[in-house]
């Protein structure tokens, strides 16, 4: 279809180029005829390519991850500027909910049931976005409609990309097959991103020559950590509302969906001594794991805090998803940023130590000068003795550029204004490196609000691009509390 549309447009482009040459009195048959005769879409300029209608394929993960995977790879290797949109539900939603290669470990689905013989799907999910990114010149965006800012911005970037194929892999909750309510799709989409089950990322070949330049993890909360945090609300023994911050792992995501519900069981009091949070359990050696029981915190029907044990399949899922997230962090250069931050911290410590040594030396020289002065003016000093001047050279290095202090922050959000926050999600979804979501208790009720990450401006450099994003967030704040 694309080749046919391009061939039709080639006649118009040929005529347009010829007309321009004639008007400029530059047309030379012996020079231009051969090139115009064999003109194809590969010879079009960006402006000419923009005249082509967008050709887009739309399919689910079954058609794209599985059956059509070979054909997709051929398209991606061809350089043809097609748009490939994947509605990734993690199952064959149209044919009965069978497991696909985009299904998760431990998922209960047709052809991968949970029972005595097996614990659901046992293969790790195929990462189509990463595979597509390593084809030459392919734009890839793994996103979710529950993050409207990330979704809309990168959908437009995908449509405008003309250097080759573009893939838009959209995490799409399927209510019936995932076991969630119809109204919960957006919430579960965000939860999939926040729990590292389906991180969002963009691979844009236009951003630079290295993978670190091309990969962006913007849109993921706490992008430099393994896990972000969530807050559980529960009632204590006195019936008072309490809040508990816990890591938001894939096990916490699985707890919210019926396709994983058979992977959990309640622990009794006798198991408390052996119980260990699953995020800590996966760091143990096999021999150490034998002595422990992995669990996640949850809240029962009476809103009391309970511990739920997780199956070996869920443990494997948490470990595999963390590995995938760490791979994305590496591709995006987060390890380079971390090493640079550690180097800057060590350099600052050395500078401080050097400055302290200089001050000690200066103090010692001053003491010597005063002692010599007293000696020279005393009655025991020899006649004609002169005071030897001491010149101290200022060896203090010039101040280096560094992150701003709290008083110089480009935006502020007073804690006193927390009650006014409407949780419009704009700030922590668009600028997650500055803002984060939290919960507070107001008048005995739990409220979800946004706030500035404590101390963030002391360790982050404010770039012009970040300043523009912060200004946009402040302008779009529903409660108008970001200044």
Q: Mind listing the pLDDT tens digit of every residue in the chain (483 residues)? A: 888 888 888 888 888 888 888 888 888 887 888 888 888 888 888 888 888 888 999 999 888 999 999 999 999 999 999 999 999 999 998 888 899 999 999 999 988 888 888 888 999 999 999 999 999 999 999 999 999 999 999 999 999 999 999 999 999 999 999 999 989 999 999 999 999 999 999 999 999 999 999 999 999 999 999 999 999 999 998 888 999 999 999 999 999 999 999 999 999 888 888 999 999 999 999 999 999 999 999 999 999 999 999 999 999 999 999 999 999 999 999 877 666 666 776 777 778 777 778 778 777 777 777 777 777 676 554 544 444 444 444 444 444 445 665 567 888 888 888 888 988 888 888 888 888 888 888 877 788 888 998 888 887 788 888 888 888 888 989 888 998
Per-residue pLDDT, 348: 74
What local confidence, expressed as pLDDT, does residue 406 receive?
Answer: 56
pLDDT on residue 389: 47
What does DSSP say about strands 293-299 and 305-310: parallel, antiparallel, or unpaired? antiparallel
Is residue 482 a part of any domain in this protein?
Answer: no
Range(s) of the domain holding residue 242: 229-334
Which residues make beta-bridge pairs with 275?
293
Are residues 332 and 212 in contact, defined by beta-carbon separation less than 8 angstroms?
yes
Q: Residue 234 forms beta bridges with which residues?
A: 242
Q: What is the CATH number of the domain that holds 61?
A: 3.40.50.970
Asked if the structure places residue 389 within a domain, the reply is no
* Coil vs helix vs strand at 99: strand
* Maximum Cα–Cα distance across the chain: 110
Question: Which pLDDT value is given to residue 341?
Answer: 66
Domain boundary (286, 310, 334) is at: 334
Q: Determine the pLDDT at residue 188.
A: 96
Q: In this structure, are 167 and 240 located in the same domain?
A: no
Indicate the residue among 334, 363, 391 that finishes a domain. Answer: 334
Q: Which residues contact 419 (CB under 8 A, 6 or more apart)?
A: 442, 447, 449
Going edge to edge, which strands form the sheet with 56-60?
56-60, 83-88, 166-171, 139-144, 201-203, 215-216
What is the CA angle 456-460-463, rounded to 5? 130
Here the tokens at position 401 are 């550029």
Q: Which residues does 27 contact at the CB level (< 8 Å), separation at least 6?
A: 18, 21
- Beta strands, E only, 101-237: 139-144, 166-171, 201-203, 215-216, 229-235
φ, ψ at 180 (rounded to 5°)? -130, 165
Number of domains observed in the structure of the chain: 3
Tokens 């199952």, located at residue: 91
The answer to the question of residue 350 being in a domain is: no
Residues 183 and 305 in one domain: no
Is 415 within the bounds of a domain? yes
Return the pLDDT at 402.
Answer: 53
Q: From 334, 350, 374, give the residue that closes a domain.
A: 334
Nearest to 196 by CA among 380, 323, 32, 342: 323
pLDDT for position 368: 79
Same-domain pairing of 68 and 36: yes
Whether residue 185 is found in the same domain as residue 246: no
Residue 357 domain flag? no
Do 186 and 242 reside in the same domain of the chain? no
pLDDT reported for residue 58:
94
392: in domain:
no
Answer whether residue 307 is part of any domain. Answer: yes
Q: Could you tell me if residue 341 is inside a domain?
A: no
My answer on whether 193 and 296 are in the same domain is no
**Same domain, yes or no, for 140 and 26?**
yes
């Amino acid at each position: 279809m694309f080749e046919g549309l391009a061939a039709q447009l080639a006649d118009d482009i040929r005529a347009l180029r010829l007309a321009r040459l004639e008007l400029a009195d530059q047309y030379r048959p012996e020079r231009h005829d051969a090139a115009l005769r064999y003109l194809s879409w590969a010879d079009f300029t960006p402006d000419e390519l923009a005249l082509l209608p967008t050709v887009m394929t739309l399919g689910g993960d079954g058609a794209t991850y599985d059956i059509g995977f070979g054909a997709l790879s051929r398209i991606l290797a061809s350089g043809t500027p097609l748009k490939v949109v994947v509605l990734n539900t993690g199952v064959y939603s149209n044919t009965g909910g069978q497991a696909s290669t985009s299904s998760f470990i431990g998922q209960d689905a047709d052809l991968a049931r949970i029972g005595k013989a097996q614990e659901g799907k046992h293969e790790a999910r195929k990462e189509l976005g990463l595979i597509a990114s390593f084809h030459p010149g392919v734009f890839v965006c793994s996103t979710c409609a529950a993050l409207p800012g990330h979704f809309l911005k990168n959908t437009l970037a995908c449509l405008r990309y003309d250097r080759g194929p573009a893939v838009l892999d959209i995490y799409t909750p399927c209510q019936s097959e995932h076991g969630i309510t119809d109204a919960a799709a957006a919430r579960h989409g965000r939860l999939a991103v926040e729990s590292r089950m389906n991180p969002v990322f963009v691979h844009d070949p236009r951003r630079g020559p290295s993978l670190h330049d091309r990969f962006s993890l913007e849109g993921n909360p706490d992008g430099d950590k393994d896990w972000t945090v969530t807050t559980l609300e529960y009632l204590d023994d006195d019936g008072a509302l309490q809040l508990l911050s816990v890591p938001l792992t894939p096990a916490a995501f699985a707890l919210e969906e019926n396709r994983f519900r058979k992977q959990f069981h309640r622990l009794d009091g006798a198991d408390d001594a052996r119980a260990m949070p699953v995020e800590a359990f996966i760091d143990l050696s096999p021999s150490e794991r034998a002595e422990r029981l992995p669990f996640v915190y949850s809240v029962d029907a009476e809103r009391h805090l309970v511990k739920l044990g997780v199956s070996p399949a869920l443990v494997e899922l948490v470990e595999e998803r963390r590995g995938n997230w760490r791979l994305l962090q590496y591709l995006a250069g987060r390890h380079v940023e971390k090493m640079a931050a550690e180097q800057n911290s060590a350099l600052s410590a050395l500078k401080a130590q050097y400055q302290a040594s200089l001050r000690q030396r200066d103090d010692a020289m001053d003491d010597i000068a005063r002692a010599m002065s007293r000696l020279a003016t005393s009655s025991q000093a020899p006649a004609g003795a002169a005071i030897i001047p001491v010149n101290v050279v200022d060896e203090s290095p010039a101040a280096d550029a560094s992150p701003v202090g709290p008083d110089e922050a480009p935006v502020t959000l007073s804690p006193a204004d927390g009650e006014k926050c409407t949780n419009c999600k704009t700030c922590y979804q668009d600028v997650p490196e500055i803002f984060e979501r939290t919960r507070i208790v107001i008048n005995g009720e739990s409220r979800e609000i946004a706030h500035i990450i404590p101390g963030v401006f002391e360790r982050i450099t404010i770039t012009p691009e970040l300043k523009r994003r912060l200004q946009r967030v402040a302008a779009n704040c529903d409660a108008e509390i970001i200044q």
